[in-house]
Amino acid sequence: MLDRQRMDPALYRDAMSRFAGHVQLVTTALGVERRGVTITAACSVSDSPATVLICLNNSNAKNEIFFKSGIFAMNTLGADHQALADAFSGKTPPLTVDERFAAGRFETLVTGAPVLADALAAFDCRVLEIKQASTHNIIFGEVMAIRYSEPKPALLYMNRGYHTL
């Protein structure tokens, strides 16, 4: 049997800060309530059926709507969306939900989740499964609709700051 040692969370976060991630704005709605969160913990799972996953902190009570709504949109941000990423990440002074969503133009496609109209790519998803993994929930979503814009520079996050590619 292996002796499990606990990794220091601060050391882990420092190492992961060197890991470049594409910035995503994930959004959902339940009735008239909406929520959006800026993340980098997202990826493709499969192309048949088209499936993505997102990871959200399960200790933030405001994220509960993602676990109940059954839908979400994963909006891939471009370099021109940095202010929007900040608004939904909490890097700006506190904003209301309406103020955050007013910072971009949102529409709906199939599921009713808010989709950023000029996202590099937007994946409108219905939740397939939610798995709890320590401090986060992994939400798997079947892609029900896609919208993408013209190619332009992508917004990445690495070394605790934004970069473009």
Task: Give the model's pLDDT for residue 4.
Answer: 66
pTM equals: 0.93
Domain boundaries, the chain: 22-152
Rg of the chain over CA atoms, in angstroms? 16
| CATH number, domain 22-152, options 3.20.20.120, 2.30.110.10, 3.40.50.1000, 3.30.360.10 | 2.30.110.10
pLDDT band at residue 3 using 50, 70 and 90 as cut-offs: low
How much is the mean pLDDT over the chain? Answer: 95
CA distances (Å), origin 159, targets 41, 56, 57, 65, 82: 15, 20, 20, 30, 16
Read off the pLDDT of residues 58-114 as tens digits, 9 standing for 90 and up. Answer: 999 999 999 999 999 999 999 999 999 999 998 989 999 999 999 999 999 999 999
